[in-house]
Amino acid sequence: MKYIGVFIMGISVGINLTNILGVEVLNVNIGIILFLLDF
């Protein structure tokens, strides 16, 4: 049972990390688009 709990926690942490990274990538893309629109 212990290993299953650790496994599920690892999966949820991985999903949270990808969500955070995905949001950061989106913010960077929006920043680049706004920067280009300024020209």
> What confidence score (pLDDT) does residue 1 get?
64
Between residues 19 and 39, the one the model is more confident about: 19
Segment 34-39 shows an average pLDDT of 80
Separation of alpha carbons 36 and 19, rounded Å: 26
Per-residue pLDDT tens digits for 2-36: 778 888 787 788 777 777 777 877 788 888 888 88
The whole-number pLDDT of residue 29 equals 84
Q: Return the ∠ at Cα 22 (arms to 31 and 36), rounded to 5°.
A: 15
* pLDDT reported for residue 8: 78
Task: Reduce the DSSP state of residue 1 to 3 states and report it.
Answer: coil
Whether the per-residue pLDDT at 39 is higher than 80: the answer is no
